[in-house]
């Protein structure tokens, strides 16, 4: 029986044989003492790729983002974040609960960007009645949408003019770079820190790297310790991250092509779907969500039952998998009255 076509997220990937071999042969030490050679190699390579002085390996992107926010802001400071930002909506409120950082929320526009005029108006004056605005946090990609370099440069210029640090949640920054035909280094130039996930499109089983200046990474190491992120023989995980960086970046273009194929197939069914990088958002009537998800599950396709339904391609979904998913979708919508479609 064929394995399911798992479109729930690009976090569901399994290590490839080459990655497993790299993990098996990894040199290890005690990373809390700083002597795990595989972790040190990963951190050095990440800093080189992104063009920063230093990097730090984290077990998760949530912890990396929070450590970055805590390293930029003091208790009671404010960070400007988008209303759809992962660090605001999907990280359990950690910036407020654990960082004592106040989020100042600005609505994301349809393209995922923040209106920079709204950002500027959200910056607090130097007045004891208000929290001190310290940081502007952006995300790229955001639900698959790419923030282009021109916009990023304008946002960084605004932050610099206003004396703010700028952090990028670059969980899928390599998807953005491949889409734009550029490098992660180019897209991230001018940021004070960047968090980049290794366990999404790059296919590692776990891990995120945070990059920044040496002084910033020194503060982030303390924050990581407070948050319980110090690991011992983490080289087996770092080896997977190194393999991912060296082997799985360019192939993200295949995921984007498969997402485009999926979106085209949905459009042929008369459905409303938009594709951004490796994500397809399918608009559904609320009453169709649960029946569709169950139908797909029975036909070997896994999705998250929500609307819009986010369908995510990754290295474990090939062209044949896309065709299997489309066949199951055709079977469902061929039997569903048109009135139940969004």
Handedness of CA 272, 200, 194, 68 (dihedral sign): positive
320-327: list long-range contacts, CB under 8 Å, 24+ apart.
321/5, 321/258, 322/5, 322/258, 322/261, 322/262, 322/265, 324/2, 324/5, 324/299, 324/300, 325/5, 325/7, 325/262, 325/296, 325/301, 326/262, 326/265, 326/266, 327/299
Residues 6+ positions from 134 with CB-CB distance below 8 Å: 72, 73, 74, 77, 78, 79, 164, 165
Q: Are strands 301-302 and 208-212 parallel, antiparallel or unpaired?
A: unpaired
The answer to whether the CB of 142 falls within 8 A of the CB of 90 is: no
- The tens-digit pLDDT sequence of the chain (342 residues) is 789 999 999 999 999 999 999 999 999 999 999 999 999 999 999 999 999 999 999 999 999 999 999 999 999 999 999 999 999 999 999 999 999 999 999 999 999 999 999 999 999 999 999 999 999 999 999 999 999 999 999 999 999 999 999 999 999 999 999 999 999 999 999 999 999 999 999 999 999 999 999 999 999 999 999 999 999 999 999 999 999 999 999 999 999 999 999 999 999 999 999 999 999 999 999 999 999 999 999 999 999 999 999 999 999 999 999 999 999 999 999 865 554 455
Tokens of 318: 């090939």
C-alpha 90/C-alpha 299 separation (Å) is 30
């Amino acid at each position: 029986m064929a394995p399911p076509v798992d479109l729930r997220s690009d976090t569901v990937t399994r290590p490839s044989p080459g990655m497993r071999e790299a993990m098996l042969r990894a040199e290890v030490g005690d990373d809390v003492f700083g002597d795990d050679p595989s972790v040190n190699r990963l951190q050095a390579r990440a800093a080189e790729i992104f063009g920063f002085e230093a990097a730090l390996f984290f077990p998760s992107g949530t912890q990396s983002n929070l450590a970055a926010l805590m390293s930029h802001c003091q208790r009671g400071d404010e960070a400007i974040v988008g209303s759809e930002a992962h660090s605001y909506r999907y990280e359990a409120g950690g910036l407020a609960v654990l960082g004592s950082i106040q989020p100042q929320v600005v609505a994301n526009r349809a393209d995922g960007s923040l209106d920079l005029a709204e950002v500027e108006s959200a910056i607090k004056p130097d007045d004891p009645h208000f929290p001190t605005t310290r940081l502007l946090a952006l995300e790229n990609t955001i639900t698959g949408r790419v923030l282009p370099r021109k916009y990023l440069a304008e946002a960084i210029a605004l932050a610099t003019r206003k004396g703010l640090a700028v952090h990028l949640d670059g969980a899928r920054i390599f998807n953005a770079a491949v889409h734009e035909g550029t490098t992660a280094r180019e897209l991230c130039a001018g940021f004070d820190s960047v968090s980049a996930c290794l366990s999404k499109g790059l296919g590692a089983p776990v891990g995120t790297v945070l990059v920044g200046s040496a002084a910033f990474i020194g503060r982030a190491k303390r924050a990581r310790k407070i948050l319980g992120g110090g690991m011992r023989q983490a080289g087996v995980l770092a080896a997977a991250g190194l393999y991912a960086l060296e082997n799985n970046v360019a192939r993200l273009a295949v995921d984007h092509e498969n997402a485009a194929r999926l979106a085209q197939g949905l459009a042929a069914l008369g459905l409303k779907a938009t594709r951004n990088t490796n994500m397809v958002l399918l608009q559904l009537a609320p009453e169709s969500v649960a029946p569709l998800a169950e139908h797909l599950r029975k036909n070997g396709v896994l999705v998250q039952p929500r609307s819009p339904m986010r369908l995510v391609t990754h290295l474990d979904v090939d062209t044949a998998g896309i065709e299997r998913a489309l066949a199951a979708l055709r079977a469902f919508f061929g039997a569903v009255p048109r009135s139940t479609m969004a």
